[in-house]
Amino acid sequence: MRDSIQRYYKTRQKTEHLCEPLEPEDFLPQASSFVSPPKWHLAHTSWFFEELILKPFLPEYRVFDERYSFLFNSYFNSLGDRIERANRGLISRPRVDEIFAYRHYIDHHMSIIFEKYYNQEIAELVRLGINHEQQHQELLITDLKYTFSFNPIYPKYSDQHYLPGANKSADWISIEEGVYEIGHKGEGFCYDNEKGRHRVFLENFEISEALVTYGEYIDFIDDGGYSNPRFWLDDGWHWNNQNGMKSPLYWKKIDNDWHHYTLSGLKKIDKNKICAHLSFYEAAAYAFWAECRLPTEFEWEVASPKLNWGEVWEWMNSAYLPYPNFEIAKGAAGEYNGKFMINTMVMRGSSRATAQNHSRNTYRNFFHPSSQWQFSGIRLAK
Amino acid sequence: MRDSIQRYYKTRQKTEHLCEPLEPEDFLPQASSFVSPPKWHLAHTSWFFEELILKPFLPEYRVFDERYSFLFNSYFNSLGDRIERANRGLISRPRVDEIFAYRHYIDHHMSIIFEKYYNQEIAELVRLGINHEQQHQELLITDLKYTFSFNPIYPKYSDQHYLPGANKSADWISIEEGVYEIGHKGEGFCYDNEKGRHRVFLENFEISEALVTYGEYIDFIDDGGYSNPRFWLDDGWHWNNQNGMKSPLYWKKIDNDWHHYTLSGLKKIDKNKICAHLSFYEAAAYAFWAECRLPTEFEWEVASPKLNWGEVWEWMNSAYLPYPNFEIAKGAAGEYNGKFMINTMVMRGSSRATAQNHSRNTYRNFFHPSSQWQFSGIRLAK
Amino acid sequence: MRDSIQRYYKTRQKTEHLCEPLEPEDFLPQASSFVSPPKWHLAHTSWFFEELILKPFLPEYRVFDERYSFLFNSYFNSLGDRIERANRGLISRPRVDEIFAYRHYIDHHMSIIFEKYYNQEIAELVRLGINHEQQHQELLITDLKYTFSFNPIYPKYSDQHYLPGANKSADWISIEEGVYEIGHKGEGFCYDNEKGRHRVFLENFEISEALVTYGEYIDFIDDGGYSNPRFWLDDGWHWNNQNGMKSPLYWKKIDNDWHHYTLSGLKKIDKNKICAHLSFYEAAAYAFWAECRLPTEFEWEVASPKLNWGEVWEWMNSAYLPYPNFEIAKGAAGEYNGKFMINTMVMRGSSRATAQNHSRNTYRNFFHPSSQWQFSGIRLAK
Amino acid sequence: MRDSIQRYYKTRQKTEHLCEPLEPEDFLPQASSFVSPPKWHLAHTSWFFEELILKPFLPEYRVFDERYSFLFNSYFNSLGDRIERANRGLISRPRVDEIFAYRHYIDHHMSIIFEKYYNQEIAELVRLGINHEQQHQELLITDLKYTFSFNPIYPKYSDQHYLPGANKSADWISIEEGVYEIGHKGEGFCYDNEKGRHRVFLENFEISEALVTYGEYIDFIDDGGYSNPRFWLDDGWHWNNQNGMKSPLYWKKIDNDWHHYTLSGLKKIDKNKICAHLSFYEAAAYAFWAECRLPTEFEWEVASPKLNWGEVWEWMNSAYLPYPNFEIAKGAAGEYNGKFMINTMVMRGSSRATAQNHSRNTYRNFFHPSSQWQFSGIRLAK
């Protein structure tokens, strides 16, 4: 339990550390309803501790500002109404310094919790809150990149661009048919959607150690990838046409060379590196073109000890659905994952924007198949 | 192979038989891009035989009208361009009698195929064409109901309303954990999406012999079913709110009694009968409210010999995705199923609008989770 | 008053005469919410007599079908609810023959009115009903053309294409500054929007006897008409871009020659003829390019005795707004014109699809500036 | 010409003065594409002087930042491409302090112009630039109010709320029929749309000295104003329904009392004060309900010397269209007004947010009839 306290403070500091390169103005804009401004991430992660721990467990607690409950709730219907998602970027006040004050107020009161009221139940909520904040650390990065990309002057966030590196192996790994166990095991933290360890039967399959590179993806483009309906799922083909796609998100051709916007500014694409920011539709089209397929999340989890992973989130050909015996948690935490189990596809692995110690091979990330703004790439199977 | 010929003629007659109750005017309207007018169904099912059999295999064949290739293609990119889906109802010409002439022209030339050119390859395409036409027979009924429902005078199609009957049993069936085989087996016809027989591991589960009735669904409504976000998947809750839902499709409250539009006109709802025309979102919300869940398609297929099914299509908590070793067929037939394996959920079973001999326990039907216009209902599992 | 009775029968017959070239299937489709199917026009014009004359003035009258009141009301809030405009094409029943029976039922009862109850008040409503039906005769033609144009086989309605002819003069007419009288004068029929004869002061202006021809409009296109924002009103430029305009409605380039869809089928454009089917945005852009302007409706009315007009409706640079002392008529007729006096621009003149004896130089037609489906063209002023 | 120089500096200071109550965060958000963030107003008004004066007339001028040309162009096609209007709020960089530096850089170089290059041509452009900046001063206030209104904590901008006061007279003024002169006269500054002084003939009319008050407008609401289609223009009725209107913009009922959001925070409505923030649709519906009408802009201009005006912008029943002999200015200035002469209605007068010395009785303001975010109210005529 002491570990958890240390980890609380480290996580909280890390979030603020991520904001250091930001100009004051960068805390506000929100380029789409599916991203949030940095200020909102800063506040919402504090709100989470306030709502789930301070309000129910700290008897002497007085809320920092009762209006924050409305302003910084994300999607928890059980915790009351909230501002419309698309309007998060319109809330200029409270100011950024007030949000930092709010964070420190929460931290101060959490320290009282740790000293006087800490118990197993709270420890588990703290662990959830830490992991929740780590998820928002990654979103802060990916959302910022998305919003920055609308600025024609290509703002630079830092020297770190969070893009994946190169492959270390190009081998194919063979896995034998059989009954395998899936889902989280042991004492460590996991989300409810990883629980309910259970068995699946897998037929023989092969999975690639390499992830698809920019160079390979450019081959797909050059072979008419975006103009041939044969490669695409039907919904993917409509998405492609409706958005007039000619390349992945953030790409721009300059003097016949592909460039892309990165958090270090506009850069020429390095063909040897692993390709990121693909939608599921693009991943599936690429796999069809390459005469392979995407793995299922069960295949991936079984093969994962044999793979190098952690460079990019990897799109699985698995819909995000409950495991057998999945149980919705009681209270607000029950809204964390279960209600999103429709119309989303699973990503496995993690990216370079994922918080340290946050990734594991049972982790189930999930996004709509059109989503491109995560650091998401392709691993092939057959 | 002779069976197939007989079945060809019976199927073709059946389609025309379904049109007998129609007034000439009923052949044209199209209430949404996801339904088609009867005239289009009549033509498209003939176009299918023309494109896949007559053009490639009947050397002396001359097309009935070369413009039909554009007018009556549904979604086969490999067979050329086509009219926009939402505009099918705008095509007043060719006239209905010309479409019937087209059908008979196709039948005549198919008879030459049967006499002079029939072989195994063609026999398989004929079988596919028959099954394709049977699918459109069901769509003709469900599409007609949808379009008719926009007419405030509640047109009557026939005395047959195609609605499900009552349950015969309310027992729960227990299935033991273990490895089970899934997918089509044997000689009979099936679609490519049922092939690739393979093994799955199932944990212990129970499944209800009864399907949810109108009375039970009204209990859900009366318990705040449409106004409590707790019951709903997140996308379902948005769908619910955006459409101002207060009841399923076709329902109307008159003097405090629920009525619904049926193909026999507006009728008072019989609470003992099995409930139809639910979206996946509604099915999932009901299951949550009932403290159960929907079965997976694998559970359903394994349990199916012990169930009475065939009253309504049953929503599965399974996304429509390829089986292991799923293979896209060569040529146009390859566009039949595979490209729809995203953003849709599986239905199993069949409804009273399904053509005879068309249903089987490996059949995988699939629709977007918001779809309500099929005769779709709920079977619970736990 | 006897004249009016004869004109009633002639007008009613004319409407049915216009339907003679139609196939039964042509009566139903509706390509947009701003057009109506022929069947609806047939019914609505009868409904107008039923609601405004038979119901209030024929004591023994029994409605043909009480549901028609809902089905065939256009936009008269004071006459009750009605079917949504975009759904008019979905109403396959009542059948077309039933609508013709409805028309004859109305005519029969109107004959009783004429024999037994005819008076000045009724005579004026009859006159309004006749003029109303004449408006729908023109709409029947223009709406049919619009819906037919979605059919890739280019249906032919008749040998008559309703397109304008050639100019008879290319002179410019000069009008002296001064106070002029505007608005309807005398005993003849006019709509309420033409009433309130009043004075306007006009500065000196010149107006062209010629209307813009296809050849001249092609010069505009060839000079970058659709790609140079300088020529366009701001809203026009957005309309142009959003619709990807490259030419007027119905045009199609085949082997480097401009063709257009006409009610006689697809035809090569005759450059000497007067150009039709232009939006106000296109008309204004053309005028800017030609270093002229469009006339105001007051200029047009004053100059009209000196002009050849009647080939096409002519877009005025006048918003459709009330004349001084405009009075909303009492009852349902009050909804005829007044409530549309916003966001529309005036057209003056008439087209070859306008009913005989229906045009006059005080007539104020009005459409949204994006409307193209009327036979609308350009006369320049300076 | 010296006056103009002084006025330049005063105007520039005034803009910055208006920003003093703002928190740094308030400079960025943009609640709709029709409003702009304060930062953008600050930059764009400087860009205007840079593009129209410094670039063409100051030989030694070096642009502050060449990217600003793209970032801060509003709608001048002749001055190049620009960022999409709806994305102005996404541009966090350049920072606010950089924008202030840009302003001072422009002012510094303008001072060189004034010293070394000042001439009549430049003086006129300076006058245009000053008036342009004054327009943006008012927009800065109204846009800020609109964006702030999305913040549920009701931010306060200042003690000044810019709302109109009470009426000083309730008399009706009669104007005699006759020919009147309209349009700008004399040496003072005016926009091109006021030029072309010309004659109009007006019939007798009466116009109210009083503007409609909150109390009167509440009477309209209480009499079913928003639920009775009879009062509304057709487009207004659709606007009303589509937006679920029950009151004007910014209103909120608390414990049965109407409150509204003001730039001083949420306040109870004072029924004696003049009503602001109405759309043209609401103004026209109110006038119909009150059995009056809105005046035309010509009537208003003729009556203006006898009226107290300047409390709110007043909706005219006149479409914004060119005066006879209206001439588009050469170059970029030609895009200032002329291209917006469609789909907008005229407002006359001025509001308390209008810059001092900026209002005159020939001023033609124009907005889409649905616009509510200006301080716009109602004066009746009959």
Q: Are B138 and B277 part of one and the same domain?
A: no
Q: Residue range A49-72: average pLDDT?
A: 95
D334 has a pLDDT exceeding 70: yes
Beta-carbon contacts of C256 under 8 Å, excluding residues fewer than 6 positions away, are: none
Q: Is A97 near chain D, with CB under 8 Å?
A: no
Query: Residue B41: which domain range?
Result: 2-148
Q: Is C67 near chain B, with CB under 8 Å?
A: yes
Q: Is B24 near chain C, with CB under 8 Å?
A: yes
Q: Residue range B174-178: average pLDDT?
A: 97
* Last residue of one domain, picked from the residues B132, B148, B164: B148
Q: What angle do CA D14, D16, D22 make, to 5 degrees?
A: 125
Whole-number Å distance between alpha carbons of C350 and C337: 18
Q: Residue range B243-270: average pLDDT?
A: 97
Q: Residue range A133-147: average pLDDT?
A: 98
D37 occurs within a structural domain: yes
Stated length of chain B: 382
Q: What distance lies between CA C139 and its chain's CA centroid?
A: 6
CA neighbours closer than 13 Å in the CB half-sphere of residue C355: 22
A182 occurs within a structural domain: yes
Determine whether the interchain pair B31/C151 forms a contact, defined as Cβ–Cβ distance below 8 Å. no
pLDDT: which is higher, C255 or B81:
C255
Residue from the list C24, C147, C150 with its beta carbon closest to the beta carbon of B24 = C24
D1 has a pLDDT exceeding 70: no
Closest-CA residue in chain B for A336? B234
Q: What pLDDT is attached to residue B81?
A: 83
Residue from the list A31, A93, A150 with its beta carbon closest to the beta carbon of D153 = A93
C74 has a pLDDT exceeding 90: no
Give the gap in angstroms from C-alpha B343 to the nearest C-alpha of chain A.
Answer: 6
Strand D257-262 and strand D265-268: pairing? antiparallel
Do B282 and B249 touch, CB atoms closer than 8 A? no
Q: Is D33 near chain A, with CB under 8 Å?
A: no
B156 occurs within a structural domain: no
B9 occurs within a structural domain: yes
Whole-number Å distance between alpha carbons of C186 and C169: 30
Residue from the list C89, C93, C153 with its beta carbon closest to the beta carbon of B155 = C93
Beta bridge partners of B290: none
Q: Are A207 and A307 part of one and the same domain?
A: yes
Q: What pLDDT is attached to residue B311?
A: 97
Determine whether the interchain pair C23/B92 forms a contact, defined as Cβ–Cβ distance below 8 Å. yes
Residue D321: its chain C contacts at CB < 8 A? 317-319
* Last residue of one domain, picked from the residues C103, C133, C148: C148
Give the gap in angstroms from C-alpha C240 to the nearest C-alpha of chain D.
Answer: 14
Determine whether the interchain pair A155/D24 forms a contact, defined as Cβ–Cβ distance below 8 Å. no
Chains in contact with B, where contact means 3 or more Cβ–Cβ distances below 8 Å, are: A, C
CATH number of the domain to which D136 belongs: 1.20.120
Q: Residue range D125-150: average pLDDT?
A: 97
Q: What pLDDT is attached to residue C193?
A: 94
Determine whether the interchain pair A91/D151 forms a contact, defined as Cβ–Cβ distance below 8 Å. yes
For residue D114, what is the DSSP state? I
Q: Are C73 and C110 part of one and the same domain?
A: yes
Q: What pLDDT is attached to residue C1?
A: 67
Q: How confident is the model at residue A4 (pLDDT cuts 50, 70, 90)?
A: confident
Q: Is C23 near chain B, with CB under 8 Å?
A: yes
Residue from the list D24, D90, D153 with its beta carbon closest to the beta carbon of A31 = D90
Q: How confident is the model at residue D327 (pLDDT cuts 50, 70, 90)?
A: confident
Q: What pLDDT is attached to residue B334?
A: 80
Q: What pLDDT is attached to residue A335?
A: 80
Chains in contact with A, where contact means 3 or more Cβ–Cβ distances below 8 Å, are: B, D
Residue B234: its chain A contacts at CB < 8 A? 75, 339-340, 342
* Structural domains of chain C, count: 2
Closest-CA residue in chain A for D31? A90
Q: Are D133 and D270 part of one and the same domain?
A: no
Q: Are A136 and A240 part of one and the same domain?
A: no
Q: How confident is the model at residue B2 (pLDDT cuts 50, 70, 90)?
A: confident
Q: State the DSSP H helix or E strand holding residue D214, giving kind and residue range, or none if neither.
A: helix D214-222
A51 has a pLDDT exceeding 90: yes
A77 has a pLDDT exceeding 90: no
Instruction: Work out the mean pLDDT of chain C and round it to a whole number.
Output: 95
D163 occurs within a structural domain: no
Strand B313-319 and strand B376-377: pairing? parallel
B88 has a pLDDT exceeding 90: yes
Q: Is C66 near chain B, with CB under 8 Å?
A: no
Q: State the DSSP H helix or E strand holding residue C5, giving kind and residue range, or none if neither.
A: helix C2-18
Q: What percent of chain C has pLDDT over 70?
A: 100
Determine whether the interchain pair D369/C342 forms a contact, defined as Cβ–Cβ distance below 8 Å. yes
Q: How confident is the model at residue B1 (pLDDT cuts 50, 70, 90)?
A: low
Which residue reads 């420890």 in tokens? A123
Q: How confident is the model at residue A134 (pLDDT cuts 50, 70, 90)?
A: very high
Phi, psi of B265, rounded to the nearest 5 degrees: 110, -175
Do B261 and B163 touch, CB atoms closer than 8 A? no
Residue A295: its chain B contacts at CB < 8 A? none
Residue A235: its chain B contacts at CB < 8 A? 342-343
Determine whether the interchain pair A199/B199 forms a contact, defined as Cβ–Cβ distance below 8 Å. no
Q: Are C132 and C186 part of one and the same domain?
A: no
Q: Are D227 and D195 part of one and the same domain?
A: yes
**Cα→Cα distances C89→A176, B89, C316, Å:** 59, 9, 32
Residues C112-133 pLDDT 10s: 999 999 999 999 999 999 999 9
Residue from the list D199, D200, D343 with its beta carbon closest to the beta carbon of C235 = D343
C to D contact (≥3 Cβ pairs closer than 8 Å) = yes
In C174-193, the residues whose Cβ lies within 8 Å of chain D are 177, 179
Give the gap in angstroms from C-alpha C138 to the nearest C-alpha of chain B.
Answer: 20
Closest of C369, C361, C269 to residue C318, by C-alpha: C369
Q: Is B82 near chain A, with CB under 8 Å?
A: no
Residues A253-278 pLDDT 10s: 999 999 999 999 999 999 999 999 99
C291 occurs within a structural domain: yes
Instruction: Work out the mean pLDDT of chain D and round it to a whole number.
Output: 95
Q: Are C136 and C235 part of one and the same domain?
A: no
Q: What pLDDT is attached to residue D74?
A: 85
Q: Is the ipTM of this complex over 0.85?
A: yes
Determine whether the interchain pair D343/C198 forms a contact, defined as Cβ–Cβ distance below 8 Å. no
Name the amino acid, one letter, at D212.
Answer: V
pTM, to two decimals: 0.95
Q: What pLDDT is attached to residue D310?
A: 96
Give the gap in angstroms from C-alpha D341 to the nearest C-alpha of chain C.
Answer: 7
Give the gap in angstroms from C-alpha C133 to the nearest C-alpha of chain D.
Answer: 21
Determine whether the interchain pair B319/A317 forms a contact, defined as Cβ–Cβ distance below 8 Å. no
Q: What percent of chain D has pLDDT over 90?
A: 90
Q: Are B143 and B184 part of one and the same domain?
A: no
Q: Are C184 and C123 part of one and the same domain?
A: no
Q: What pLDDT is attached to residue C79?
A: 81
Give the gap in angstroms from C-alpha A33 to the nearest C-alpha of chain D.
Answer: 13
D to A contact (≥3 Cβ pairs closer than 8 Å) = yes
Residue from the list B27, B39, B153 with its beta carbon closest to the beta carbon of C93 = B153
Q: Are C179 and C131 part of one and the same domain?
A: no
Q: Residue range D14-33: average pLDDT?
A: 97
A81 has a pLDDT exceeding 90: no
Q: Is B313 near chain C, with CB under 8 Å?
A: no
Burial state string for A222-240 with b = 16 or more CB within 10 A and e = fewer than 16: eeebbeebebbbbbbbebb
Closest of D315, D286, D287 to residue D299, by C-alpha: D315
B159 occurs within a structural domain: no
Q: Is B227 near chain C, with CB under 8 Å?
A: no
Q: What pLDDT is attached to residue A1?
A: 67
Closest of D113, D111, D132 to residue D47, by C-alpha: D132
CATH number of the domain to which D256 belongs: 3.90.1580.10
Residue from the list A199, A205, A319 with its beta carbon closest to the beta carbon of B319 = A319
Q: What percent of chain A has pLDDT over 90?
A: 90
A176 has a pLDDT exceeding 90: yes
Determine whether the interchain pair C343/D369 forms a contact, defined as Cβ–Cβ distance below 8 Å. yes
Residues D242-257 pLDDT 10s: 999 999 999 999 999 9
Burial state string for D191-215 with b = 16 or more CB within 10 A and e = fewer than 16: bbbbbbebbbbbbebbbbbbbbbbe
Determine whether the interchain pair D95/A29 forms a contact, defined as Cβ–Cβ distance below 8 Å. no
Q: Residue range A78-101: average pLDDT?
A: 92
Q: Are D127 and D260 part of one and the same domain?
A: no
Closest-CA residue in chain C for B31? C90
Which residue reads 């038979």 in tokens? C54
Residues B273-287 pLDDT 10s: 999 999 999 999 999
Determine whether the interchain pair A92/D25 forms a contact, defined as Cβ–Cβ distance below 8 Å. yes
Q: What pLDDT is attached to residue A76?
A: 83
Determine whether the interchain pair D93/A67 forms a contact, defined as Cβ–Cβ distance below 8 Å. no
Determine whether the interchain pair A91/D24 forms a contact, defined as Cβ–Cβ distance below 8 Å. no
B161 occurs within a structural domain: no
Determine whether the interchain pair A93/D31 forms a contact, defined as Cβ–Cβ distance below 8 Å. no
Q: Is B86 near chain C, with CB under 8 Å?
A: no
